[in-house]
Amino acid sequence: MNSLFVQVLSLCGRRGLVDLSAVAVDGSPMEANASRAANQRLQRLEETISQCEKKMHTLMEDAADHALSVEADGSAAQGDGEDPRDNWPRLSRLCDRLTRAHMARDRLHERAMPSPTEIRIKVEAAERMVARAEKRLAAETEAHQEKLRQYELRVQEDRAAGRRGANGRPPVPMEHKTVLVRQRTRLVKMRAWLERARTPRPAPSPDARACLSDPDSRLIPGKRGGYLQGYNIQIVCARRQFLLAIEAHDNPSDRTALVPMVKKTQHNHQAARLPGDIQLWLADSGYASAASFEALADLPLLVSVTSDADQAGFPAKRQQAPAGQQDMAARLATPTGRAQYRQRSVLVEPGFAQLFQRFGRHLNYCGRTAVDAEIKLLGTVHNINKLIKHTPKKRP
């Protein structure tokens, strides 16, 4: 389906319908073909796996015992009692449930893993703490060694002058100095922290849940309040709501979706051989992230870093840009930046409205692969409809 999506996009580009002067990224939830009631915590998933394995083991033992009895007693015993072949549908259902429980458990562990950016940030912070602890230990060690050396010099001078015991109690040895012991212990802890940051093995939160019906789906905040079991669908729209990319993001938050969506759009742009380059990228405050800005520093990018209300000129609760986002805030504060950012809602929000009006908000398939194929099909049909509507009709 991805190949078909790119082919239709290429056809739209050859017709001159794809305007790349500005594109906008946005996300919206779509309901999965799964129930919220099927969400289970890790402990419950472990119990489900254990129960399924026990039941499957019992069924397999019954089948083996029946086979041995048939072999021993002959074909006459086949009609006695319950036919084990009636258990095969049940065994099939247990296998399916066990597979989905394993997948749900794996998803919980995968989601607990920090992203590469988070790992890098934690490693850099741990390295700074280790360097600081080493520097402090070296300074304390040098200071105490100097203290011991000065004491030894005074003792030698007193002995040479015939004075004894004039220097008082000797300093504490290096291995028993409280400050040094404390600093050595702190350095060991910092090095252990650095090792954990480099090789994280996080455990899922006790409150984390995964859906047994569709382990790839997530609990996502709904547009009208509350939560729904679904997928965070991301789109990139050009003018006239032509879709350049449509993807399912494995996180309820949009914060980590900007870089993957930009990369996917660039891939589709190159594969479809669209003429020209994208002149401007737009996204709302949900995508604001210092790590994303650093990764996309070479692109003409405008992302709201305060709030959409503030960018539109209305009073907002948060008007100061967080750390690492001041450059983007300064760019948006200019008249040109404000005028360019106002295009965002016009570009992308009608795109979602048209998709949902035509296809609804409910997905029909389960699993990341099937959902990806389904939304690619929806995006392809959406672009075909745009192609038909914007192609001039020849008069007879």
Lowest mean pLDDT among 48-57, 161-170, 227-236, 355-364: 161-170
- CA atoms of 291 and 89, how far apart (whole Å): 50
Q: Are strands 39-41 and 209-211 parallel, antiparallel or unpaired?
A: antiparallel
What is the identity of the amino acid at 31?
E
> Measured between alpha carbons, how far is 3 from 222 in angstroms, rounded to an integer?
31
- Domain containing 76 equals 40-112
Same domain, 238 and 381: yes
Same domain, 385 and 312: yes
Pairing of strands 209-211, 281-283: unpaired
Task: Give which of 298, 368, 377, 310 is closest to 342, Cα–Cα.
Answer: 310
Residues 179 and 230 in one domain: no
The closest alpha carbon to 4, from 390, 392, 374, belongs to 374
The DSSP bridge partners found for residue 221 are 227
Region label for 169, one of left (φ > 0), alpha (ψ between -120 and 50) or beta (otherwise):
beta
Domain membership flag for residue 203 = no
Q: Residue 247 in 3-state DSSP?
A: strand
**Does residue 6 share a domain with residue 120?**
no
- Asked whether residue 262 falls in the same domain as residue 178, the answer is no
Segment 329-360, tens digit of pLDDT: 888 888 998 999 999 989 999 999 999 999 99
**Residue 321 pLDDT > 80:** no
Answer yes or no: is 166 within a domain.
Answer: yes
pLDDT attached to residue 83? 60
Let me know if residue 205 belongs to a domain.
Answer: no
**pLDDT at residue 155 in the model:** 82
Contact 361, 229 (CB under 8 A): no
- The reply to whether 185 and 152 lie within a common domain is yes
- The last residue of one of the domains, among 89, 112, 135, is 112
Q: Considering its fold, how many domains does the chain have in total?
A: 3
Task: Give yes or no: residues 268 and 370 share one domain.
Answer: yes
* Domain co-membership, 97 together with 30: no
| pLDDT of the residue at 165 | 63
Tokens for 10? 């290429």
Query: Measuring CA to CA, which residue among 245, 244, 249, 215 is closest to residue 231?
Result: 249
Tell me what the pLDDT averaged over the chain comes to. 85
In which band, very low, low, confident or very high, does the pLDDT at 278 lie, cut at 50, 70 and 90?
A: very high
Does some domain include residue 95? yes
- Which of 32, 58, 55, 369 has the alpha carbon at shortest distance from 212? 32
Q: Are residues 348 and 269 in the same domain?
A: yes
Examine residue 101 and state whether it is found in any structural domain, yes or no. yes
Domain boundary among 112, 145, 170: 112
Note whether residue 206 is domain-resident: no
Which of 198, 229, 247 marks a domain boundary?
198
Are 357 and 249 part of one and the same domain?
yes
| Residue 395 φ/ψ, nearest 5 degrees | -80, 140
Could you tell me if 334 and 353 lie in one domain?
Answer: yes
The pLDDT assigned to 167 comes to: 66
Residue 275 lies in a domain: yes
Predicted pLDDT of residue 110:
83
pLDDT of 40 higher than 60: yes
Kindly report the backbone phi and psi dihedral angles of residue 220, in degrees, each rounded to the nearest multiple of 5, phi listed first.
Answer: -125, 140
312 has a pLDDT exceeding 60: no
Query: Does residue 208 form part of some domain?
Result: no
* 218 three-state secondary structure: strand
Q: What is the pLDDT of residues 58-104, one digit of tens each?
A: 888 887 877 777 777 765 455 555 565 667 788 888 888 899 889 88
Are residues 353 and 256 both part of a single domain?
yes
Nearest CA-CA partner of 258 in 228, 226, 302, 223: 302
Tell me: the pLDDT tens digits for 204-232?
777 888 888 888 898 888 877 888 999 99
Measured distance CA(139)–CA(126) in Å, rounded: 20
